[in-house]
Structure 1
Amino acid sequence: MAVKSFLFALALSLTAPVVALAQGFAGMGSEAQGFATPSLGTPLSFPADHGPHPDYRIEWWYVTANMTGPDGTAYGLQWTLFRSALAPFATQGWDSPQIWLGNAAVTTPEAHYTSERLARGGTGQAGVIAAPFEAWIDEWHMRGDTVDTLQLRAAGTQFSYDVTLEAQGPLILHGQDGYSVKSQQGQASYYYSQPSYALSGTLTLPQGEVAVTGSAWLDREWSSQPLASDQTGWDWFSISFDGGEKLMGFRLRQADDSYYTSGTWITAEGDTTALPDGSFDATVLEVSDVGGRDVPTRWQVRVPDYDVDITVEALNPQAWMDMSIPYWEGPVQISGNRTGVGYLEMTGYD
């Protein structure tokens, strides 16, 4: 009974702040309360910024991948490690205020497999080291001498994957040199990506092993108050066009039904242009019933400055992440005046 009580209390302490991290948008818009906050003009520093920032409240390491098997079947893969802090410091042992959550998923045209891990910081069960790089929770890991070459592993009850990522381009700093504004009021995060990995490896699904190749995208972000208090969710797109260009764009939904948007246009050579509020447009074309929820799964995305007018459509509309952090996330296919593949993450539809 004592052990069960301890585990129940631990589960509550782990889950509550993480829900606030990924879904509780009022929580993400609350005052920083003693945590550090991003400031314009502070340069990002590598490899140090590949590691954790315990004086900030919210942080994640996030990989998505678009893949194909030998028969041309499309697949998606996701690996995320979240860090959420109860206080702005790190200690060893069970009294650490650092909380870790891992999410992993594989999406096929017919199925969506997910798994989740929770951990308290300070025990070695989860963490991140900047160099040589390693991020882990239990046996799930992302590791390499640098972030240019990574091995990525995770497993759930119905899936596993073991893939290698090889960077084909430079790191990308979003916003103004990595300072990414999220609202008219000025809330912001530090945000960078490696959007140009070539991927190869193996998926293991209920029907057996599948050799896959494709492309992957790493996102890194940290803050303590990234959203305004009236922002109710977001729709985030990462798109790799067949011509080599890439697009990151998001719209933050606000309580008055307006949107704040931002994005980055990335050339095939890795040069970037920030897309200010209003220059990235995402309009819902089709809504799907996803477990009784109305979730947009087909979009029109336009960036007039770069002659982008595309349709973004879910590979599998039922890609719902039904875990401690409930949200929709899955691979998408691109058609219109450009073609390609990408990933879509949507929160606040539960």
Structure 2
Amino acid sequence: MKIKACVLLLALLASGCDQPAPEQKGFAGLGTQAAAFTPVVPGRMFSFPADHGPHDGFRIEWWYVTANLQDDQGNEFGVQWTLFRSALKASPEVAGWQNQTIWLGHAAVTSATAHHAAERYARGGIGQAGVSVAPFNAWIDDWQLRSQATADDPLADVLLSARDRRFSYRLRLTPTGPLVLQGDRGFSQKSEQGQASYYYSQPFFRASGTLDIDGKTFQVSGPAWLDREWSSQPLTGNQTGWDWFSLHLDSGEQVMLYRMRQKDGEPYLTGTWIDARGQVQLLHAGDIILTPQDTARVAGRTMPIRWSINIPARHLDIAITALNPQAWMDLRIPYWEGPVRLGGSHAGSGYLEMTGY
């Protein structure tokens, strides 16, 4: 899923309301009405490499990478990199200061004992941030997700880099499997009312390179996951946040799950099972038992940092534990995000994001 806190400025998109009660906006404004923007409907045909680029007419969009890394001594790290595109109007992109697009970047590094996060902002149309398709490059300032491959398959060889005062990383990403359409052939539903996004992933990336944290440099490698998602109104006004998991099983399979929490009613729960060849099965709420098991105090709030996941039809019964329970993204809109370890019926690693707590 990976709807993130990309929509800091989406409150600007909400028009005035004549009703007595204010419109419910959902977490970070993602539930505000978006009638002027392009709706997300089932049956869309995806086209690559064009869909690696931006999508005019949609209100929000992101390019998102996580990586579970180790050095030669077995020290574990997590890396996150995200670029968000937020449209203030439904009109096409234009050059210069009349551009109506806001770009936002998030980057983080996590170890067992440290977690550092940073953010960048940019106005569209002036070259400070953007995404191009040929050649593929997603950037904000000197943070980059840039292809080093041919235009026909720009994700065959990708450079990922970010730098801040307390950390930096430079990683090469190469795929070992195909792209995956999440949900129903890329139509990813977020509520019983039909809110949805278009969503695909590259869950088979392998990452290798250098990572610096608190003045120490490490040579690292491990599995990585790219998510691409775009929408105009992905939440209802009743949805207060989510718990999202991307999991690399040592068997070669991958799992994506998310639980959308609501003010009233049960959470909306769904996911995708991805086999080692990239074949997918849509998971419904009845297929998944997702249960918080243990909590920790994080940034003055109680967060579930240990979970159990049971998918009986796939003989999956695992415990998910945070590498660093204090992986709090202390940004303009704060949330929890960090690497997790897997134990039980399957070993592996992954990433967890929790918002709205």
Does TM, scored on the shorter chain, surpass 0.5? yes
Equivalence for 1:154: 162
Q: Distance in 1 between matches of 2:83 and 2:11?
A: 11
Q: CA deviation at 1:279?
A: 2.0
Equivalence for 1:114: 117
1:96 to 76, 96, 99: 99
Q: Distance in 2 between matches of 1:121 and 1:207?
A: 33
Describe how 1:239-250 pairs up with structure 2 within 5 A.
239-250=247-258
Q: Distance in 1 between matches of 2:331 and 2:101?
A: 20
Deviations 1:106-165 (A, max 9, x none): 000000011110001111100011232110000000111301210000011001000100
Deviations 1:254-295 (A, max 9, x none): 112511111100001111111123322321101110011111
2:130 to 127, 130, 134: 127
Describe how 1:5-154 pairs up with structure 2 within 5 A.
15-17=8-10, 25=27, 27-89=29-91, 90-144=93-147, 145=149, 146-154=154-162
Q: Distance in 2 between matches of 1:30 and 1:86?
A: 13
Work out the number of aligned pairs and report it. Answer: 335
Q: CA deviation at 1:19?
A: 9.8
Amino acid at match of 1:266: I
Q: Distance in 2 between matches of 1:126 and 1:213?
A: 28
Q: Distance in 1 between matches of 2:212 and 2:265?
A: 42
- Alpha-carbon contact 2:26-2:238 (below 8 Å) kept: no
Query: Which runs of 5 or more residues in structure 1 are unaligned?
Result: 1-13
- Alpha-carbon contact 1:19-1:325 (below 8 Å) kept: no
Q: Does 1:291 align with 2:290?
A: no
Q: CA deviation at 1:25?
A: 2.1
Q: Distance in 2 between matches of 1:74 and 1:208?
A: 14
Q: Distance in 1 between matches of 2:347 and 2:28?
A: 36
Seen in structure 2, the aligned counterparts of structure 1 residues 24 and 338 have a Cα distance that, compared at 3 Å, is same
Amino acid at match of 2:10: P
- Percent identity reads 53
Equivalence for 1:6: none
Deviations 1:55-114 (A, max 9, x none): 101110000000001210000000000111110121111221100000000000000011
Look up the SS of the partner of 2:155 in the other structure. Answer: coil
Deviations 1:305-336 (A, max 9, x none): 21111100000000000112211000000001
Seen in structure 2, the aligned counterparts of structure 1 residues 315 and 344 have a Cα distance that, compared at 3 Å, is same
Amino acid at match of 2:317: D
Q: CA deviation at 1:38?
A: 1.2
Q: Distance in 2 between matches of 1:206 and 1:186?
A: 45
Equivalence for 2:333: 325
1:260 to 260, 268, 291: 268
- Alpha-carbon contact 1:19-1:324 (below 8 Å) kept: no
Amino acid at match of 1:216: A
Please give the root-mean-square deviation of Cα atoms over the aligned residues, in Å: 1.7
- Alpha-carbon contact 2:26-2:236 (below 8 Å) kept: no
Seen in structure 2, the aligned counterparts of structure 1 residues 169 and 83 have a Cα distance that, compared at 3 Å, is same
Equivalence for 2:211: 203
Q: Distance in 1 between matches of 2:289 and 2:134?
A: 38
Higher alpha-carbon deviation: 280-289 or 212-221: 280-289
Equivalence for 2:3: none
Look up the SS of the partner of 1:147 in the other structure. Answer: helix
Q: CA deviation at 1:247?
A: 0.3
Look up the SS of the partner of 2:9 in the other structure. Answer: helix
